[in-house]
Amino acid sequence: MYSREIDGKVLSLEASGWTYRKTFVLYDRETGTLWYPLPDRAGLTGVAGPLEDRILRLLPSTRTTWQRWYERQPESGYMRYPGHRPR
C-alpha cells in the first residue's frame, strides 16, 4: 500500500492499462505521471511524466489471505459486487 500524497497534494491513482513484469503500472489523474514499484525503492516511483523520479512512500500494511485476516478480525467485512461469489 502506498501513500497518494506528494508535496501536500493527494493524487488519484488508477490503472494505466500497462503492465510490466506482471505488475500494473499506475498513473495519477492530476499530472499523468506513470508510477511503478521499482525493486530498489521503498514505494512507487514516478517512471515517466512530470513527477518522474519522485517516490510515493510505502505505507505500513499487512499482506495476508482473507481467511487468515477474518480469523483474526472477525468483525471485518468486504464490498460485494453483482455476480460475486466468495470462495
Tell me the per-residue pLDDT of 7-40, one tens digit each, with 9 for 90 and over.
Answer: 999 999 999 988 888 889 999 999 999 999 999 8
Q: How far apart are CA 53 and CA 65, in angstroms?
A: 32
Query: What is the model's pLDDT at position 75?
Result: 92
DSSP state of 71: H
This prediction's pTM:
0.71
What does 4-42 look like in DSSP terms, one character per residue? -EETTEE--EEEEEEEETTEEEEEETTT--EEE--TTSS
pLDDT at 84 > cutoff 70: no
**Segment holding 85, helix H or strand E:** none
- At 52, the pLDDT band (50, 70, 90 cuts) reads very high
Cell numbers 495476508: residue: 64
Give the dihedral sign, CA 64/13/55/53. positive
